Chain A
Amino acid sequence: MRYKVALFLLMIAASVFAQQKKIKGKVVSSEDGEPLIGVSILVKGTTNGTITDFDGNFELDVSEGSVLVVSFVGMTTQYITVDSRNEYQIVLLPESVALKEVVVVAYGTQRKDRFNGSVTSVKSEEITSVPSASVDKMLQGNVPGLLSVSSSGQPGAASEMRIRGIGSILASSEPLYVIDGVPVTQGSLGSGEMSAPVNILSLLNPNDIESVSVLKDAAAASLYGSRAANGVVLITTRKGKKGKTQYTFKTTQGYSTKAMDRYRALTASEYVQLRKVAMENAGFPQWQIDLLAGSDSVSTDWAKEVYRQAWFSTYDLSAAGGDEKTQFFISGSYLNQQGIIIGTGLQKGTARINLTTKATEKLTYGLNTTLSYSLQQIAPGKGQFSNPVLAADLLPPNIPVKNPDGTYNYNFVALSGNNPVGLSHDNINEVNTAQNLSNLFLEYKLTPDLKVKTSWGTNYIDLREKYFQNPYYGVGTATGGLGQRFFSRNMNWLTSNTINYTRKFNEVHGIEWLGGFEAQSFRKDFASIRAVKYPTDRYSEIDAAAEPYGVGSYISRSSLVSFFSNVQYNYNERYYLSASYRNDGCSRFSKDHRWASFYSVGASWRINEEAFLKDIYWINDMKLRTSYGTSGNSEIGDFRSLGTYGFTSYHGNAAIYPLRMANPNLTWEKNKVFNAGIDSRVYNRFTLTAEYFYRITSDLLLDVPLSSTTGFLMVTRNVGSMVNKGWEFTLSSDNLKGEITWTTSFNFTLIKNKILTLYEGQDIIDETYGVQIRRVGEDFNSYYLRRWAGVNPADGSAMWYDKNGNVVYDYTKADKQVVGSATPKCYGGLTNTFGWNNLELSFLFVFMYGNKIYDFWSGYTESDGRYLAYNQSAEQLNYWKKPGDVVPVPKPVYGNPSNSSVGSTRYLHDGSYVRLRNLSLGYRLPKSLMDKLQMASAKIYFSGQNLLTFTRYRGHDVERGSNGINDMSYPNVRTLTVGLETSF
């Protein structure tokens, strides 16, 4: 508003004749209203000026219409047009904090305005009101360029994180996570037996986090070399501050339900009726229909039986404080989260000590350590008959959950008697994790400019999985009860040693140099025990079983040695140059291909300091920056370059079988990243960052198909390449200041992925689901399906399109085509925060546009009679009845031999959505009350997650994995909580 007034006044001023006069004024700080001494007041375009005195007052002879330039160190320069008034009260605002904030970057911290790379830093305040067990769920919508998809609502499950697109086909596309300087163990941590992946981030207490930095381009991430290709997420935990010890207690209580609920299965009467119609259409005689159609005397809503309202509670207590020499942060937390599916949940306890002590002027050392312990009850996933999500959709509604005598009913054919309600009580799927993450460091100042630092970190993750299938019904009947225990111990240690030199020469030449050496070693010890034939379902340990059914163990190791260096130069805080180099040696590759080098260069230009912009008053800050560099991806598994035989057994005797063809030429996937961007703040109100990125990944690992006559199906080679390019925008605005505050922050990412080369240009059909294709020129997640043309009104049969767009009536005559992709065209988030007195309201909308979801199981639930042993979707009721009907569902025929329910675009849906990810309303108790209670502060808040979803998609949940396929995974949750946070 103020700039509009200024503009208006400027126009009036220009229209009147300039007249010399004496003006008086006072300059005060906006922060505390105190007068500012020594503020420079200069008439623009002249040498006429003065400075404020001890009381902040000044006097100056000026002509009306001239512009005063009011500037002071650390404050934003203001431009005031002289009007008819003779007295001026000038309020100076502190310089914009957004661009000057200090952010955590690779091996240190940087002032953001000096940094050439692309980094987004998220502070703890922005995320900790989100009710979730782990930090990865809190980042979506807050970081441009980061696509964080939560493919499972299982408490403690991981989100998939994709920074600037998908970077790999076979290897991992997940970023590198570095917690307090220690790269954590990633990849397969446990047995991989159940489809729930272990989420290392859920072991971290979100309230312990100080900030999360997402490193996106080469200048930011290349210093992590062979592991930086998919970006780096740096997590920094809270440290103590000197002063009175501050205790904080925080608790949240609430409950969760399904985030959206659009899917409806048939009721018993609808189901039986549909069966009758389908049998009639199949030409069954009436006596057979009477025998087979079933009765609808029992009606079970399996979804109601499987899903529930689930409780959520957390407790967190921390102490932070210290003196001049030693500072500490100590915290403990407990979380208990039920899953919205019966029998699932997470209980977690964490403890942390962060300690720093300055032993002498030169020597500082300390320890960051955290222990966490969690117990997770999970549900079987995907196509397993015991998957409750699958069961809720597929089990016929005309069978009861329990028998009249109160026992669970498992006497049914569909899903082989896997009653999900009974199984949630009588089977066990439990993951028990203990983790320690520690980092011991010592820093020594050799000279005021030169310091060395050594740090020794460990990450210990002990995973114990226990799976038990009861002997009486469900999956366990095949074995007479099956008990499985898996023990995985993952240990990684790291030594990181750096030397740091910072110096300013001749007032204008700033230099920072970093050199380092790092070695890290990973080891996984795995053991498994299985036993069968249990006497009862009451005892699930292996001791109770009659017969061993298999044991196994292995040790898997890898190691990494690195040398790295980084140099930064700036001239007069105006021109910035940087370069980095890293040389990595990795045990995963053969001796000849073990070492690789990665580098980056970056530059930026503080353009508003230049003469041609310096006087444009509405530009507070403006910086152009660009970078280019390389990085690698070595997350390919430990021994992929070796040709090996695997061990097995044949009828009780040892046996070996060929496992993998040797490939001594295997090497890292390489990333080349270009980035260009602009950071600016204008009118002291708007902060805008816009960036363009172009990321080429080459030497992509691909399984090159071999003729099976070689004895192998494929060999892994570095043959592919892919590009991810796009734009990222972040705009934040202080809409209202004063009594009512309102800030808006909006970020938006436009992204395009394209495969550039594949082995001999050959398409790769995704074998897991068979509905996607990797094809040169197309997006990585492209769907490759026959196009559905609807239902023939004449006879109710299915129709498809061939490649020329003609309607065909035979499935095999239809042609598979690329029909969209699971990759969104754009995504982002919008946050609004309002403040009024002690009230604060904030909400975050996240959105995704242009992605498609494939309902893999619709072939069963919308089967047009083919799979009527299973319940059907309510969509099936709108079926063809008589010639002329224009309806979406073909004529149902029992055991339908037509291919209407075989994969086609019929089951491909628009996955675009807007979701109210988070809403929080907080009330800070007044200071007067706090003083009476002798407390520092207290806040009560209400918080909700996933409260609203706007989408055309009609399945269980619109948020699916990054591959877009709905494979009966655990739906996301809507959570409502109230919280209390007190400090004293």
Chain B
Amino acid sequence: MRKTYFTGFLILITCVCCSRFLDKEPTNEIPEEKAYLRFSDIETGLNGCYKCMLAVGYYGKNFILYPEIASDNMKINLARTTGSFQSVYLFTLGAASAEPKDLWNAGYEVIHCANQIIKALPGITDGTGDQRSSALGEALAIRALAHFDMVRAFAQPYDFTPDASHPGVPVMTENTTTLFPSRNTVAEVYTQVLNDLSRAEEIISSGGRNAPFTFSRTAVQALMARVFLYKKDWENAAKYAVLVIQAKGDTLLSRELFPVMWATEYEDKEDLLVLGFTSFDYLTTRSLGYQLLENGYGDIVATNDLYASMDENDIRKKLISHVNGVNYCLKYPGRNYTIGLDNIRVLRLSEMYLIAAEAMSEITGKEDSARYYLNKLRRARIEKVAGVTATGDSLKTLIMEERRRELAFEGHRLFDLLRRKQGVVRTDVLPGSPSTKPYGDDRLIMPIPQRELDANKNMTQNPGY
């Protein structure tokens, strides 16, 4: 008995210690050294980049609403407020606020993902060479978009200083272990963004992997048009906008289809880059649609002046529901009207008409073309509308007004005002809230998040925070 017991005991100890009893691996996570082994892993990783863009703090909601609420397009619905975006509306964001923090984190997470793929690609041997270089182009475009979005939100516009030497955001082109990058100048950020985009334009396949849900060459060019516009490189902005317009056959969606488009997966004629949710994992009550719709929270609504600026014959007016003096935005009705399940349109064709018009209105001798693109868009939206004949500054003003109506609630307004060196002027303003913020005001850009300042000794805060 004694002997048996001890033998048994020893066998047990041996079994447990010699087997891999203490080696356990997760089943729902991949250890990083096993993440990128084949080309299909690269595609999975690229999909992950877009998924990260869909975070609530980025394209999922906040980055779309922030420029609309911190300007004159949207306001808080006092009767229903849940408290969200209140500090955005009041320009009282602080370094500890959630909005700047979430955007910063999500943006750099996207950049990190893209950099991991750029680093892993040379080690991948399967897939065709074209596939691999197109994947590289896609990763570069993703990296460029995230950098561009960060610099729009956290820095003053490009020509705030003559040589754009004011602080931008750190440019991350590789994932380093040096944890303390300092801020690059806005000029440096734009240079990097445009380098990445022009390289991407060369190597990405024209159709993209899964356009419009992934970058295609057209989408890269559309983004280039926007970046050049922000940089006030009018020639290039016009060039790339026209390139995209022509690639799409210079046709806009009909007036009948335009309002319906917002409830669809995507519209081939219009959409250039769309971020798509799966019906499985959309944001439900934290989503953009739920925030805006009357049968959701409905606590962020359009301003009366925006609503009033739309002509009765303007099909875009149908995208605002005017109930008891409250303007609910209907641009995010949900795919097939499933509330909260909206794909996010990052780049679409109509914006290219506005970019072309704006850029050409700034180039001497191109006003005819500017009016052509503006009128083309207006006719596609407003029934029986007369052609615009204005020139000079009044043409530019008309283009900006058109831009406000067309791109309302899509995350452009504040940035457009800033790059045009206009401040925020609110006509329909809530009692006790700021009605103007002049151009150059510190509060028109986001603060660098406190946690970044704490964790990164080389980081500097924006003035005024």
Contact = CB atoms under 8 A, between A and B. Distances in A.
Nearest to A523: B24
A478 interface: yes
Nearest to B265: A651
Given A650-B48, A711-B109, 4 more contacts: A639-B26, A649-B47, A708-B108, A895-B430
Interface string B426-465: 0000111100000000000000010110111001000000
A657 B338 contact: no
Interface stretch (A69-77, A187-195, A224-232, A546-554): A546-554
B349 interface: no
Interface stretch (A91-99, A112-120, A555-563): A555-563
Given A587-B22, A708-B452, A658 B278 contact: no
B389 interface: no
Given A650-B51, A653-B47, A711-B109, A897 B24 contact: no
Contacts of B80: 413, 869
In the complex, the 7 A-B pairs of residues with the closest C-beta atoms, listed nearest first: A711-B112, A651-B276, A655-B47, A554-B28, A707-B456, A644-B29, A550-B280
B456 A656 contact: no
Interface in A653-679: 653-660, 662
B189 to A, nearest CB: 13
B279 interface: yes
Contact of B278 (A554, A650, A656): A650
Contacts of B105: 708, 713
B432 A711 contact: no
B2 A519 contact: no
B264 interface: no
Nearest to A895: B78
Given A282-B431, A557-B24, A561-B21, A645 B454 contact: no
Interface stretch (B8-16, B128-136, B193-201, B244-252): B8-16
Contacts of B170: 709
Contacts of B24: 557-559, 587, 638-639
Interface stretch (B160-168, B172-180, B401-409): B172-180
Nearest to A656: B48
24 contacts: A446-B2, A479-B284, A497-B12, A519-B16, A530-B280, A554-B28, A561-B22, A585-B22, A587-B22, A587-B24, A645-B48, A653-B47, A655-B48, A655-B50, A657-B51, A658-B116, A707-B455, A707-B459, A708-B104, A708-B449, A711-B108, A812-B92, A895-B81, A897-B433
Nearest to B105: A708
Contacts of A108: none
Contact of A416 (B181, B296, B430, B454): B296
A521 B26 CA distance: 15
Interface in B329-379: 338-340
Contact of A480 (B213, B281, B338): B338
A444 B6 CA distance: 12
Interface string A398-433: 000000000000000100100000000000000000
A706 interface: yes
Contacts of A659: 29
A315 interface: no
Contact of B12 (A495, A521, A549, A554): A495
A477 B17 contact: no
A654 B47 CA distance: 7
A19 interface: no
A805 interface: no
Contacts of A446: 1-2
Contacts of B296: 416, 478
A43 to B, nearest CB: 55
Contacts of A765: 96
A413 B22 contact: no
Interface stretch (B30-38, B227-235, B253-261, B311-319): B30-38
Nearest to A586: B22
B112 A587 contact: no
A711 B113 contact: yes
Contacts, number: 223
A693 to B, nearest CB: 33
B48 A648 contact: yes
A14 interface: no
Contact of B26 (A644, A770, A893): A644
B9 to A, nearest CB: 6
A655 B30 CA distance: 12
A709 B454 CA distance: 13
A556 B22 contact: no
A478 B339 contact: yes
Contacts of A109: none
Given A550-B280, A656-B30, A713-B105, A869 B81 contact: yes
Given A479-B338, A662-B32, A517 B455 contact: no
A657 B52 contact: yes
A688 interface: no
Nearest to A475: B285
Contact of B29 (A282, A557, A645): A645
Contacts of A652: 276, 278
Given A478-B284, A479-B284, A656 B181 contact: no
A642 interface: yes
Nearest to A288: B325
Interface string A809-822: 00010000000000
Given A645-B29, A709-B170, A895 B22 contact: no
Contacts of B28: 552, 554, 556, 646-647
A191 B283 CA distance: 18
A659 B145 CA distance: 22
Given A644-B32, A658-B109, A710-B175, A650 B276 contact: yes
A643 interface: yes
Contacts of B9: 454, 497, 517
B398 interface: no
A452 interface: yes
A282 B430 CA distance: 11
Given A655-B47, A705-B451, A705-B454, A649 B113 contact: no
A645 B16 contact: no
Given A519-B21, A643-B32, A657 B276 contact: no
Contacts of A708: 104-105, 108-109, 449, 451-452, 455
A650 B50 contact: yes
B281 A550 contact: yes
A521 B47 contact: no
Contacts of B176: 710
A241 interface: no
Nearest to B33: A643
Contact of A444 (B5, B50, B433): B5
B108 A897 contact: no
A283 interface: yes
Q: Which of B2, B51, B276 counts the most A-chain CB atoms under 10 A from its CB? A: B51
Greatest chain A CB density within 10 A among B21, B22, B80, B275 is at B22
B22 A709 contact: no
B174 to A, nearest CB: 11
A564 interface: no
B59 interface: no
A444 B92 CA distance: 74
Nearest to B10: A517
A867 interface: yes
Contacts of A554: 26-28
A479 B45 CA distance: 29
A559 B109 contact: no
A894 interface: yes
Given A444-B1, A895-B78, A651 B454 contact: no
A218 to B, nearest CB: 25
A475 B90 CA distance: 29
A812 B97 CA distance: 13
Nearest to A547: B279
Nearest to A765: B96
A876 to B, nearest CB: 17
B456 A709 contact: yes
